[in-house]
Structure 1
Amino acid sequence: MPLSKLQSALGLEDSCSKGYFPNFFNTLENARYVGEIPPIHIYGVDSMSTREKDIFLKWYEDLSSSGYIFNMADEIRKYCIQDVRILWSACLRFREIFRASTQVDPFREAITIASAYMRVFRKTSLKPETVGVVPPRRSPIAESPLWLVWEERQRGTAIAHAGNGREARVMGRKVDGLVRNTVLEFHGCFFHGPNDTMGGRYEATMRKTVFLRQSGYEVIEKWECEFERQILEDAASSAFVAGNPLSQIDVFLNQKLVTPPSHAYPSRLLNYGPAAKTTHLTSALWYGDTPGFMDDCVNNTGAGLRCSFTAGGKEGEVMGHLHCDLFN
């Protein structure tokens, strides 16, 4: 809707009238013009509707007959200020009307008209238990590393996954976990689709599994719903999850607390020992468990570094990346 229509559409006061401006007169040559009002055609009268044209001609005739002196610098300033006044008043009026009829603030609770009306629908018309919502802290993204850590404990070996580095790639495809020639895949039911509800997504997931197996890899799969049942039915799994193994803990290096960085960059060059080797550590998931070392520090030469950490007040295993500044 053009600004010129907002006054009548929203019932704004007379001071919010759009007015007229000779847009075709707005050139560099006319920037300092002072004199008679510009000709009618400069106002774009040919593009006006019949009603708009009649109103404009009456306004133009009255202004011309009064001997009005047109000052380009003053006129363009007033016209721009008026545009802002109209839009500002219209926004306030729209907000007032919308809040009164829907109990939703369109500017505080939404960023588009569509999202504002979706908010209204959710507040006034959406019935309970009609839309599936993943409970907090139990999304597939959170459960995937949880299952992989569980598998690490069961197998007694480290598994490369996003929680302790980057997602591994096999034959050009990302996999959730990788240990030697074994691929571990955690299938969130929404994104991968179990066969009984979303056949298309399920088929795409199975094609990837077949491809990996045909390439000589052992593939171990776990569906989100299966892992949920395992947690509920298996005492050991339930106790493992209840222990919150992915919780954040305090980490110390050389008896100094590892703190978040003061800089805005996602990684930082770090120095270790008298050899002054450097490495990058970036942010991701980390947790403490049994005594051990962190093996995911790789220096510029590609050689691994073993750095002893203290986790949670005791010597512990710290997996993943650390987003912090470390000092010896």
Structure 2
Amino acid sequence: MTKSATGDGGNDPFETCITIASACNLVFRTKFLRADTIGIIPAQGYRPEEKHSVKAIQWIKYISQTKGVDIQHARNGSEKIIDQYRVDGFYENSEGEKIVLEYHGCFWHGCPTCYTQHTINTVNKLSMEDLHHQTMVKKTHIEKQGYTYTCIWECEFDKHIREDENIKKFIDSLDIVTPLEPRGGRTEAFNLYHESSFDESIKYYDVTSLYPYINKTGKVVIGHPKIVTENFDDLTMNE
């Protein structure tokens, strides 16, 4: 495992590893892992250009249910693109009218009810006035292309949910699956040095680490995934 004085290309676990599990993982990665096996997830996710909120999908599904229409959106294929713009939802009614649905998150679109025009969005550093202007420019452009533009502000939708029991029941009935957030599981030392008093004793307690156990016996996906957001099949079919 370790490098020799002649430089045989081995690994020095005392130089780069903290645990036995990390040492074994290092050997596997450098000596046995085949190329193009484990997909590296892009920093912004697999579909960074399609940013949508759960609330937007809730509203679109409510419109779909009440009007009895199928609406194209990010969760059932892809958002419709109109020139340089992506829209939250799109459908054609029985008269052939092309209808665009846009859900305006107040923080992201500069809601004039919730924010003053000089308030700065802390994420993109734009003023709410600029964000609102961008939203209206998009609206005007889409309408000029012959589409009917229907929108709702986040605060308006929240008000409908609070005041309309039927809408609330419908929203509560939805089962919208969100991406996993695999965080946590790490441990750390909270005190690196301690002198025990006469009535104290210092004890060490450990359990079998799950990392090597899972690495040896668990199933790990290879390659890059197919992104599925609705109508999930049995996951065991992909094993």
Q: TM-score if structure 1 supplies the norm length?
A: 0.36
By relative contact order (CA 8 Å, sep 6+), the higher-ranking structure is 2
Of structures 1 and 2, the larger Rg is shown by 1
**Which structure's residues are more often strand, by fraction?**
1
Q: Larger helix proportion, structure 1 or 2? A: 1
TM-score for both structures, normalised by structure 2: 0.49
